[in-house]
Amino acid sequence: MRSTAGGYFILAWAFSTIATGCGSSALQALEARLSTPERLAFEPAFVGRIHTASVALENRGSVPLVLKLSTDSPFRAALVDVTIAVHRTETVPVELHAAQEGPLRSELRITGDANASVVLTADVLPKPVCDDENPCTDDVLDPRAGCIFPTREGECDDSNACTSHERCVEGRCKGQTIECPSVFEPCSRSVCIPAEGCVVLREDAGCDDSNSCTEDRCVDGTQCEHAPAREGMGCGEGDCTPKSCEDGACRVAELSSGSTCAHDGWNEPAGVGQVYAVSDLWFDPTHELDIDGDCRTGLNCNDNVLAGLPGSASEALYTRLSNGELRTLVEVVGYDQSAPLDSSLTVKVYRAEDSDEPADPTNDFELLPGESTCCEFLAVHQLEANGEVRPTIQFPARAEAGIVESTSPIQARFRSPYDPPLAVEVELVRAQIRLRPDPTGVGASGVLAGALPIAAVTGAYEAWCDSTDQCDEWPARVLSEGWSWIQPDLDLDGDGLERIEYDFADGAWRCYDGPRSCESCAPGSMTTILPIRGRDSASCGQRPEMADAWSMTLGFHAVKASIVGERRNPF
């Protein structure tokens, strides 16, 4: 019995030795090891928003970890129970439900197979004000998405007393232009002021006889007087042909020595004037200009049929601006903003390239946090067939009451912002521009209007679709969808309006000449125009018979910018 008891004692001693000696290293090999960051800092947050940041929990041990997570309001862990496999990392979202502004500090507590904590910090800013100043959108603060502006239908108020019966159309407030009653009294004229509506002004302007070589003034508020203007004073519409007043009439004058153009800034290099980068561009349904020159007695003055394009067309323009594919600069040269009337200045439109290396569209229109440069571009000059380097579009212009507008329609050609074969040339005829620079110089807004010929549309479609197999890409999709139901409204050749249709069933375009082009045809019938190139149906629009056009107005907003260099367009 004694020896048996001694044996049990020896076994007990042996097991205790294993447990406290060699066995300790074996247990250590199975220990749990959790790695966490010390701090999780949220991006600047806003009251009323739900912000999310993520923390990475890494299991560096040799056994799985079963953990519990907890924190204090306004922070909230998206997961409460977490299991992390060996040598794995679990990413846990942590939400901040910001209810009041100010700095916040809390911690994410981790318990279970391992214990740890992560400091949570955030700076909460006041609740953002969601207001896009658009009466056709609802201003909504979404807790997760932030400010959103869903469009709405129905009546609206464009805050313009010169329009009536406004309704929301594709997210824009569009109204009918009010025609003010004519006034047949001396020294009086009827005008519409957006802030007031129709008013009768009794002033010298009411005596305007449309002759720039007479000085029109109102005498005693009852009678107009038209005295000849000073001999030799400049006059005319600013078409770069010098004119001067002689005996109360505007006559062509000889060019002075060294003179090249009557308009200030016409031949100046890029960047000497006020430069603006177009930051928003859309098919504007709220503004119309007289493009075809057929505005008589208040009729046919509003030409803007492409205002009916689907919203996807404007969205495509904005997308191209945002990602840097449609960088556009507008420069006003020779403008004296201190003068109430400046009859001789120039507006230039350039394609632009980013001056950043590498190109970075995020700082095209605003100064980013931590950055020191913004809105700097290279002006891309267009090389004409005669070797002359010009801006993409160049307008003679005048300014009155803070509004700059072109003095006469021009024909403009511009190219898409792509390399061949997508470097298609688009023609805009009877182009006009009107803009209002901000008096503080921070930006401008305006419209570019003109006639888009059938040949320009079908030519762009051919380049984008038929020859490059990109029929699903913009603008081919917009061309086929939009122009399939909007017909040309400007009769540029006088034979009645032509028609062009896109058949979705067979993917073919069909063209019809104006109804007055065929004297022997039945009334109302139209002559079918065949394609120039067999199976290329869109080429029917390239025929000279298809000379009509769509009227359009592009609205734009722009920010102050700088031209820091120039480049020639090689295509």
**331 and 310 both lie in a single domain:** yes
**299 and 412 both lie in a single domain:** yes
Number of domains in the chain: 5
pTM of the model: 0.51
Rounded distance, CA 371 to CA 505, Å? 52
**106 and 214 both lie in a single domain:** no
**343 and 431 both lie in a single domain:** yes
**413 and 286 both lie in a single domain:** yes
HEC per residue, 450-466: EEEEHHHHHHHHHHHHH
Among candidates 229, 216, 278, 293, which has minimal Cα distance to 443?
A: 278
Segment holding 54, helix H or strand E: strand 50-59
**364 and 284 both lie in a single domain:** yes
Q: What is the pLDDT of residue 238?
A: 42
**538 and 559 both lie in a single domain:** no
Cβ distance 249 to 213 under 8 Å? Answer: yes
Q: What is the pLDDT of residue 236?
A: 54
**313 and 295 both lie in a single domain:** yes
| Dihedral angle sign, alpha carbons of residues 41, 42, 43, 44 | negative
**369 and 296 both lie in a single domain:** yes
Tell me how far CA of residue 5 lies from CA of 8, 12, 14, 304, 534, in angstroms.
5, 11, 14, 111, 112
Q: The domain containing residue 146 runs over which residues? A: 140-177
Question: CB-hemisphere CA count at 13 Å for 529?
Answer: 26
| Dihedral angle sign, alpha carbons of residues 234, 235, 239, 242 | negative
Q: What is the pLDDT of residue 70?
A: 93
**77 and 153 both lie in a single domain:** no
Tokens representing 361? 């569209």
Could you tell me if residue 94 is inside a domain?
A: yes
Residues of the chain with pLDDT under 70: 1-32, 184, 202-206, 208, 210, 221, 232-244, 252-263, 288, 292-302, 310-312, 372-373, 383-388, 413-426, 460-485, 520-521, 523-524, 534, 569-571
Question: CB-hemisphere CA count at 13 Å for 293?
Answer: 8
**430 and 348 both lie in a single domain:** yes
